[in-house]
């Protein structure tokens, strides 16, 4: 049995010299190397920006969505959306562990796991698409995938439904990074606060900012704002389109008496919200772009263009122990758990 690179470079077909995430095409044959893990896949959780783009391209037709997803995987050997550059993650059952990893991992065949690395670098084959959930970016499949030696994963918990755990673990980095960024007394703006990652960030920001802080949720949808008010974790639910930068500036200025935000966390699944986030942030404030729809060129040049001295942080989806932390939020908040179970079970 062959031995592969711990980072999966042995799977790269084109172009040579890059890592699997940056590759256009990778080898998705399911004969494993001695330091790989074979997974029988049950479901894919497609990145929100990617799923939104695919759904728009397909005009919401499940049959066309299936064709697009299959086409991406057949062409590239992985689910790596060529428009958004993003992927998602999966859940499944360990089918086989390469002998070089045997005894080194707390895993055994039959364990149910979620991968914590992107589908944009994961060798994947889809045999059957069983069901597409348009409202929650999840696709139930029969297929197989490969996890590299360096690939992060989490064993699925017994006390949380699988589809809820899948949804949580897909965005586990967002609340973990929010916990690092938000300090007591901060004014925090969550852009895209009505979505999955946005809701978690609102909850975490409320904990960290405390009673002296101010948490502001932003969504263009009235139903999102109403839900934010009902949950009670925001001081202000602001209905504004974040792609309209001047409208964002006006709205956030109004609720902060012109002081703007100390921290802005961008969780949207559409492009062109960079300038709205920048203008909503005070000088020397911080912006965390969790969204994979972000253009970092637009953000960097845009901040320069309006003379904003802000720290902008790339949305690293990984933070140490982020999976355990995200799942702990469901255990500590019955209201948050009920919300996720109503949507994802």
How does pLDDT run across 229-255, given as a tens digit for each residue? 999 999 999 999 999 999 999 999 999
pLDDT at 318: 85
pLDDT at 103: 82
Whole-model pTM: value is 0.85
Would you say 282 and 186 are in contact if contact means Cβ atoms under 8 Å apart? no
User: pLDDT by residue (tens digit) across 7-42?
Assistant: 999 999 999 999 999 999 999 999 999 999 999 999
DSSP assigned state of 79 = -
SS3 278: helix
pLDDT at 26: 98
pLDDT at 102: 86
Q: What is the CA radius of gyration of the chain?
A: 20
φ, ψ of residue 73 to 5 degrees: the values are -65, -40
Q: Domains in the chain and their CATH numbers? A: 9-156 (no CATH), 173-338 (3.40.50.720)
What count of residues does the chain have?
A: 345
pLDDT at 163: 86
pLDDT at 319: 87
pLDDT at 37: 98
Would you say 234 and 261 are in contact if contact means Cβ atoms under 8 Å apart? no
Which residues, in sequence order, are CB contacts of 98 under 8 Å at separation 6+? 1, 32, 33, 34, 35, 36, 37
pLDDT at 222: 97
pLDDT at 135: 86
Which residues, in sequence order, are CB contacts of 296 under 8 Å at separation 6+? 289, 312, 314
Which residue numbers in the chain have pLDDT < 50?
A: none
User: pLDDT by residue (tens digit) across 278-305?
Assistant: 999 999 999 999 988 899 999 999 999 9
DSSP assigned state of 320 = T
pLDDT at 243: 97
In whole angstroms, give the CA distance from residue 138 to residue 344.
9
- CA atoms 61, 241, 295, 264: torsion sign: negative
pLDDT at 250: 98
């Amino acid at each position: 049995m062959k031995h592969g690179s711990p980072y999966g470079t042995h799977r790269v077909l084109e172009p040579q010299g890059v890592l699997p995430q940056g590759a256009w095409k990778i080898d998705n044959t399911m004969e494993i190397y001695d330091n790989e893990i074979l997974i029988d896949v049950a479901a894919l959780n497609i990145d929100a920006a990617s799923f939104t783009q695919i759904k728009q391209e397909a005009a919401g037709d499940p049959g066309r969505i299936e064709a697009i997803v299959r086409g991406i995987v057949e062409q590239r050997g992985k689910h790596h959306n060529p428009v958004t550059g993003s992927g998602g993650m999966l859940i499944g059952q360990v089918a086989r562990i390469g002998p070089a990893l045997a005894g080194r991992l707390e895993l055994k065949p039959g364990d149910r796991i979620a991968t914590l690395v992107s589908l944009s670098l994961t060798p994947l084959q889809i045999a059957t698409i069983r069901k597409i959930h348009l409202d929650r970016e999840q696709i139930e499949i029969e297929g197989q995938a490969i996890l590299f030696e360096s690939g992060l994963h989490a064993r699925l918990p017994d006390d949380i439904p699988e589809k809820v755990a899948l949804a949580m673990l897909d965005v586990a980095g967002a609340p973990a990074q929010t916990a690092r960024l938000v300090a007591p007394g901060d004014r925090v703006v969550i852009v895209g606060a009505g979505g999955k990652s946005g809701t978690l960030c609102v909850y975490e920001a409320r904990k960290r900012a405390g009673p002296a802080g101010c948490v502001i949720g932003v969504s263009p949808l009235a139903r999102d704002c109403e839900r934010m008010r009902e949950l009670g974790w925001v001081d202000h639910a602001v209905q504004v389109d974040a792609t309209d930068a001047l409208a964002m500036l006006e709205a956030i200025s109004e609720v902060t008496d012109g002081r703007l935000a100390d921290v802005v966390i961008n969780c949207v699944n559409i492009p062109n919200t960079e300038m709205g986030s920048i203008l909503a942030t005070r000088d020397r404030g911080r912006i965390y772009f969790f969204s994979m729809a972000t253009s970092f060129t637009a953000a960097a040049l845009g901040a320069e263009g309006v003379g904003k001295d802000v720290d902008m942080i790339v949305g690293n989806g990984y933070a140490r122990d982020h999976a355990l932390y995200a799942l702990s939020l469901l255990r500590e908040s019955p209201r948050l758990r009920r919300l996720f179970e109503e949507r994802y079970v």
